[in-house]
Chains A and B, each alone.
Chain A
Amino acid sequence: MLTQPGSNAPPKDMPGEPAVLALHEVTKTFPGVKALSEVSLSLYPGKVTALIGENGAGKSTVVKILTGIYQPNGGNILVDGKPTPFPVPQAAANNGVTAIHQETVLFDELSVAENIFLGHAPHNALGLIDLKTMTEKARALLESIGANIDPDHKLKDLGIANKHLVAIARALSIDARVVIMDEPTAALSHKEIEELYDLVESLKAQGKAILFISHKFDEIFRIADNYTVFRDGQLIGDGAIADVSEADLVKMMVGRDVSQIFPERTPNVGDAVLSVQGYAHPTEFDDISFTLRKGEILGFYGLVGAGRSEFMQSLFGITRPSAGAVEIDGTPVEIKSPADAVNNGIVYVPEDRGKQGAVLDLPIFQNITLPSLGRISNNGFLRLAEEFKLAREYAERLDLRAASLDTHVGNLSGGNQQKVVIAKWLATHPKVIILDEPTKGVDIGSKAAVHDFMAELAAQGLAIVMVSSEIPEVLGMSDRVIVMREGRIVAELADHELEPETLVRHAAGI
């Protein structure tokens, strides 16, 4: 009996292949919110299905239902066509479903082998963990995915890419039939992403069904066989990836045509605002010198680990440089702390919004006013009316979407969190704003809004430094690009010299 799940026919090029795991008209409601409304989704052995949607479309809810964390209010989970509830995460694992999350849940202080087998470690006759067998099994698993990692090392000694490989080995250790990958490439470099693609191919060859969640269209077209698009908790469309174009998918995601074109700008570059001379750090970067002008957007491109963020954080006063000088408007300034940087008009929007950019457990208005408390207070005493006025002004300028200014920032979508962080800094009237991966983890609608806003700020004379690893963004937004490799500036490219190949060549050192 082959009950085809879902209200939609399976993709045409897979006649008869039953779905190994499927959702059938699943609904999930939270108090006041309908996160999913009768959605269906099918995963087939040996196929990669891309789940596509803006932030808030319901992708994370689907992952949580498929892994037994959330219970649907209606509809069924089908395993091999049979309705199978997953009341607890263990039930999902027993049915061979495993997930590799955005922020992978692993344990720094445990060994690689312990991380892989936590919860299902091999036991000896006494019921104790059989360390030797566990280490050997871990070694074999890691080798099978081409990872050169010592299973005895502590997890904290590994880089982010290797941690992902450990997470994948953990997923495989429970003999998974379905592997869910939630933005697995978000933190990886080019080379590591290529290796991940190879791994996905080998998982496919082993007949695993893969659910691949990503914001990046290039990788969706590269590795996915099928697609499923969600919008506002509803299924908008699914089918074979070969039958659609990028424009079709974007249209389904946002429900309208979104120009993938970056804002049209006529750069109106003025006097030099920021001048950096010979910035150096014992291990992270060396001999960084450049000048930034009013109204200019200066891109910093490089591979992950090229030292761009480390340099920016040093310029912002988080870490002290071992050498170097900074001038603002031609006057030498000394920056020993972020407070000094802010006082001198340099502000920094970090890549890690949750830890560094915002205080997630405080309300929006308190986040926006945090660096500007001096302006809304009278001799150190807060004036609540002034505070709300300032927060409202900048929230509206950035077109923030929130239930109220009292909402905790942690409850906002990634795009709106980023707007809060940018609003916070604009309220300090900066001269230079450094944006580190400004649209990472931001959905496509908010992305365009952030880009438009950057263009608007530059037009108003703000000097912008943009660190980005996304080539289209670097090309589309920058007036000038500095390429860094291994902590040093290797190229400075003017607007007319900007070609994707040139950037990659300099960044990789070919």
Chain B
Amino acid sequence: MSTTERLIPDRLRSPMEQKLKSWETLLLLVAIAIFVANSFASPYFLNAWNLSDATFNFTEKAMIAFAMALLIISGEIDLSVASIIALASTAMGAAVQMGVGTPGLVLIGLGVGVLCGAFNGLLVTRMGLPSIVVTIGTMSLFRGISFIVLGDQAFRGYPASFSWFGQGYVWWVISFEFVLFAIIAVIYAVLLHKTNFGRAVYAIGNNATGAMFSGIRVNRVKFILFLLTGLMSGVAAVCLTARLGSTRPSIATGWELEVVTMVVLGGVSILGGSGTIIGVVIAAFVMGLVTFGLGLLNVPGIVMSIVIGALLIGVIALPRLWSMWRAD
């Protein structure tokens, strides 16, 4: 036997090579294709203000999608996010009637989000219930409370300073919501890809038992992820309520599936264990561009959801078709 030191290389493929052959690259090409197609389809598409408007189609949903991505990577899911928006928005609306000012409203919105997330998290981590069941339950529960409080009424009368969170512009066509979306994207990308916490999330999603046997506090990590998802739902509730200027119990109906769609389209495995934040960012743009492009062409909403559904299945099936074709 040789006595020389046996050297194992760190990596066989460079990180750059891995990135180029990734899902995210494919998705980026899809986004560019949709962008080009849109600019040919409608003369109104390539207009700074129109494009700025288009971002409102995804900014609020994407904020939740980033937290949801971490939750799904860890092997859990939260289907109550849209209902958390309804409850948080209702709480803010009620507070307006009592004369609470803008800072108070924001705190209430975020606070309700965190509390709802904590409730979900406790049921999942302390009682050991499956998250899909727990959050289907709280999905009805949270929105139900909102319906009891509001009935067929709406809360209005939000102060003008509050509206800025949904309607304000930071500079030229750059909205506050878009800036917030970008900041949150960076925060979550760093959290998932550059910290111990993010590494624990991946380990738990791949093998929760193995992670626990490695000294990871699995339930603590999962609880924090539910808190974060609740918090982001609260943030989205503030932005959406400020943009609409009113609260109805039907606010954000169906968003939970759009958020999950965005996460899965972004390349996050629905079974947990893999996915990136940049993928979710690109998926947000793809969904926003499709919705906006079809809107310019006066396509009705029902058709839009058909297109989004087909897009999801198409983008997921494409790599598999490609590899089947190559195998022949």
Contact = CB atoms under 8 A, between A and B. Distances in A.
A362 B203 contact: yes
A239 interface: no
B207 A359 contact: yes
Interface string A371-412: 101100100111000001000100110011111111100000
Nearest to B18: A406
Given A392-B8, A396-B6, A405-B10, A370 B216 contact: yes
A424 interface: yes
B328 interface: no
A206 B8 CA distance: 51
Contacts of B216: 339, 370-371
Interface in B1-60: 5-6, 8-13
Given A318-B212, A404-B9, A406-B11, A362 B195 contact: no
Contact of A396 (B5, B195, B217, B273): B5
Given A362-B203, A377-B196, A382-B195, A339 B215 contact: yes
Given A402-B8, A406-B10, A362 B202 contact: yes
A358 interface: yes
Contacts of A357: 210, 213
Interface in B150-184: none
A388 B8 CA distance: 11
Given A365-B10, A402-B8, A406-B10, A377 B209 contact: no
Nearest to B7: A396
Contacts of B197: 380
Interface in A350-376: 350, 355-362, 365-366, 370-371, 373-374
A389 to B, nearest CB: 10
Contacts of B8: 392, 395-396, 400, 402-405
B5 to A, nearest CB: 7
A422 interface: no
Contacts, number: 102
Interface string A67-96: 000000000000000000000000000000
Contacts of A358: 207, 210
Contacts of B209: 355-356
B217 A359 contact: no
Interface residues of A, number: 43
Given A362-B206, A365-B10, A406-B11, A381 B213 contact: no
A102 to B, nearest CB: 19
Interface in A224-247: none
B217 A339 contact: yes
Contacts of B200: 373
A39 to B, nearest CB: 26
A334 to B, nearest CB: 15
B126 interface: no
B214 interface: yes
A341 B215 contact: yes
Nearest to A360: B207
Contacts of A428: 215
B194 interface: yes
Interface in A428-480: 428
B12 A403 contact: yes
A342 interface: yes
Q: Which of B10, B200, B203 has the most CB of A within 10 A?
A: B10
Contact of A404 (B10, B210, B212, B217): B10
Q: Which of B8, B196, B215, B273 has the most CB of A within 10 A?
A: B215
Contacts of A366: 199, 202-203
A356 B199 contact: no
B211 interface: yes
A373 B210 contact: no
11 contacts: A318-B213, A356-B209, A357-B213, A359-B203, A360-B206, A360-B210, A362-B206, A382-B199, A396-B5, A402-B8, A424-B214
Closest 5 CB pairs of A and B: A342-B215, A373-B196, A406-B11, A359-B207, A361-B206
Interface of A: 316, 318, 337-339, 341-343, 348, 350, 355-362, 365-366, 370-371, 373-374, 377, 380-382, 388, 392, 395-396, 399-407, 424, 428
Given A355-B210, A357-B213, A373-B196, 13 more contacts: A316-B213, A338-B212, A338-B214, A348-B213, A361-B273, A362-B206, A370-B216, A373-B199, A380-B196, A388-B10, A396-B8, A404-B10, A404-B11
